[in-house]
Structure 1
């Protein structure tokens, strides 16, 4: 068993191991099924490259989603009622401003869960098309050894993404069930904060894994571009016109268009949940930081556990923003690598006008099918997003602290 686990989490594929691109997605797929965050069942056979989508399973998945949403709605309602009506000294939030922030945070969590589940089932056909298109794009180029790409992707998904989900779940549980809170308060926090938070991280993991798969497609195109450039240098050096290049630029262009189609599908199905994620991230960073500042400077009973809890929630939001910012820059970086390789292919406009035109066409195609991921066209998910979010939160934090004084 240990040997099987070691091989499964290894970046190196075993000899004669049949591993498809979607097989790497299987651990996260099981988690998505548990929470009803995938619209239908998918059969991922080991020996085949294609996947089988079972449309009849959509009803069972939707029942699971409705149950999860009902649980979140009920406990969020109980939580809001507890915050507003309780007059005890050890209430969940003290003061009108703290109660308002508490209710807003619960509301954004509910809005995210609602948008995530509605996006899954209202755009079920896009999800189905996304799974099929990514397999077809992956099988479109197979002249270069792709085991290295698959091995690294398996480590990223199974160790980094899936391992981070487990670590966050454990840490959330420890933070919630330590301290001096009552049992009822811990139950409310678990079902109205922790579960929506885990759903949010699972959806972001789903999104990021698909971005990694598109990145793997682009890496495969880059490998074939390098092979094409190598063959062209052999031909230019030896004047051997009979040397046959196993893949053409036209084939790589076709796969690039398919990869960008998958990117647009990812953008379409995830932009609503991402919008509410960023909204919650900004509000939580500001409110938790403000609570921590006020607690340290003006409250004598602000415990170490409170500091750790506030810091942990701020850190979770920063992780989400980092993942979203990283996703956009990842695709842009890989597309830039492809562009540099194709412009480095040996060619001469006088000797090979067809190749020169094909390279220019590929370059124009890359400019037309950009790698940018936007949220309803208002802003892009790119590297500066992290800085912009932290800078804006710091500005609002300073204003809030000054008004509180």
Structure 2
């Protein structure tokens, strides 16, 4: 699988000066960080760790009733069953599932993708190349500079915002007057599957306004028609047709608003705004004024992974973008082109994506089926603290010396 680039929206056909001007007008970049030129001289390169500093641990995950917990700073491994957990841990292991302790601010992001030689010319895994790989061949991948690694979310709801046309995102760039503005693009929409995996919404932006030279907050309205799980098509009653998710986002600070459309009935509960801190939301509009242009306003869904690399609790997904003229005349979600194979969920290049291994069918010569991809992850032990230890982390085996599965060998090294 070829790693997708973390591009959320492409601002096409704009010259360099125009992009710089738009960013300055919109306040999308925090300019308080100072100059990194360091007096005009060459930037000092960080001292990289040496191979002798690499730690190796074997984690027993053969008991499906237990979870193993690694404290990466102390090297301690503890086993627990049920809801019992140790007080201080950074990474958990349950079968082939690896998670970071996001509740205590631990994050695990992709630092180096799988080696290119693992793929054939079509971008598919080459089984023989993976089987032939040796941990010694990819040890030095741990010893690199990972200074810029951070979360890069790829929303399922994405698109283009070109200068010379409407594009296919939920807003478009209006250059008819200066300063430029971002306004709704109601020519395109999405089919959204709710977090329950059964409710569907066909949705488009019917109002959006962001004056890139003004001081006003950002206005938005998304209008949707709903198909509940027990219905055969989009319904026309007042709790399901022309439902609006609307409001304002703060211009100069991080802000988010959420909407719940999965749980309602004809009489008592209509779709409406939801608490973003809960699990009971389907759609989120998110504003980060410090992010780069194109990543500062996103629509997220309760499915896949969040911005910190943690799995979301819901099963929401999105299909599109699609011309609204095509989407609007469909009787049901099942009639939409691409259903159900082309649904996507929010993704992030994270250790929680379970891409540290590939499963290759065994044969008479090869009893092993689980092989490491030798991806390197950066484990940040406290994302809120700039001075917290960070580690390069890599899985190199899933078997013990007698080819018994469920014995994960991991190696890691603290980064400068």
Same-fold call, TM cutoff 0.5:
no
Q: Could you state the TM-score of these two structures normalised by the residue count of structure 2?
A: 0.23
Q: Report which of the two has the higher share of helix.
A: 1
Structure whose residues are more often strand by fraction: 2
Higher CA-based Rg: 1
Q: Which has the higher contact order (CA 8 A, sep 6+)?
A: 2
* TM-score, length-scaled by structure 1: 0.24
